[in-house]
Amino acid sequence: MSHGDIGAAATRDELFGAPATLRRRLEGDAGIGQLGGYTKAVEWGCLDRHPFKGEVRLQGEKPRDRYVEDWEVIECLSLVPHRIKGSVVAIQAYVRIKLMTGMARGDLLRLTMANLKEDGIHIQRHKTVGKTGKRTIYQWTPDLRAAVEMAKAVRPVLSAFLFCTRKGEGYMDETTGECHTWKSMWQRFMDRVLSETQVKTRFTEHDLRAKCASDASTLEQARALLSHADARTTEAIYRRKPEVVQPLSGLKQ
């Protein structure tokens, strides 16, 4: 079924059959989801939310090019928290660490005290643990150590996790791979940023990861920070600053 077929379908039943049939097909056929079936299912009330929207980039989709400026980061970090220990200060510590390391959300939220070693922060990228098995050590700097200490200090309770809930649990649900509570916290944080600071354009956590890669002095440093096995991924998706070139000399008359 093509995009045109989906767009021309008059009703849900004409396209997929009864709601129960639709749900079974969506659960078993990723291709339908890629062709827009999930969006229609949400529209018709058969699913609560699109399971992939904002989570994956389909082949051929243009990569994001949002570059977060330094002043926007400063505005975010200047947001006044309502509580000494709460979501705002936790996210501000998280932002500081992400900008210095470029760590992916899943890796950053999975950090425990065991990852914090004498020579730095040790991680194995969760996304590629069964593929490349890429391991990275982020060496300590005064700023990185200070950001980690800040994250520790603002936790609501003592926990093995660097970022934890009020129950001391990590934010990642290892069964689903989701972190809904953290995502909600981030959305509320960004809502406040947009309403209480000079920042007017929303950005994502992924955009901060891209900022780290873009601000790195070389492509190789960016690749290493993001724990990529292939620099082509880093270059195509995460390096978002314009290329600076030296113009040729003018014609001599």
Half-sphere exposure of 81 (CA within 13 A, CB side): 14
Residue-wise pLDDT tens digits, 11-62? 444 444 455 555 555 555 444 444 456 665 655 555 555 555 554 555 566 7
Q: Per the structure block, which two tokens stand in for 148?
A: 């980690």
Selection from 50, 43, 41 nearest residue 16 by Cα: 41
Instruction: Determine the Cα–Cα distance for residues 200 and 218; give it in Å rounded to an integer.
Output: 30
- At residue 103, does pLDDT exceed 80? yes
Contact between residue 160 and residue 113 where contact means Cβ atoms under 8 Å apart = yes
Query: Would you say 148 and 160 are in contact if contact means Cβ atoms under 8 Å apart?
Result: no
Q: Of 139, 144, 110, nearest to 125 (Cα)?
A: 110
pLDDT single digits (tens) 108-129: 999 999 999 999 999 998 877 7
pLDDT in tens, 85-100: 778 999 999 999 999 9
Q: 1 falls in which pLDDT band (50, 70, 90)?
A: very low
The whole-model pTM stands at 0.72
User: Where exactly are the structural domains of the chain?
Assistant: 1-61, 70-238
Quick one: pLDDT at residue 132? 73
- pLDDT attached to residue 158: 95
Q: How confident is the model at residue 228 (pLDDT cuts 50, 70, 90)?
A: confident
Segment (H or E) for 25: helix 19-28
Using alpha carbons only, what angle is made at residue 214 by residues 72 and 161, rounded to the nearest 5 degrees?
75
Residue 208 structure tokens: 């901060």
pLDDT of residue 42: 54
CATH code of 70-238, in short, is 1.10.443.10
Q: Report the distance separating Cα 217 and Cα 53, nearest Å.
A: 32
**Predicted pLDDT at 229:** 82
Looking at residue 251, what is its pLDDT?
82
Q: pLDDT tens for residues 134-156? A: 889 999 999 999 999 999 999 99
Percent residues over pLDDT 90 in the chain:
53
If pLDDT is split at 50, 70 and 90, which confidence band does 179 have?
A: very high
| DSSP H or E run through 113 | none
pLDDT above 80 (res 78): yes
| Phi and psi angles of residue 237, each rounded to the nearest 5 degrees, phi first | -110, -35
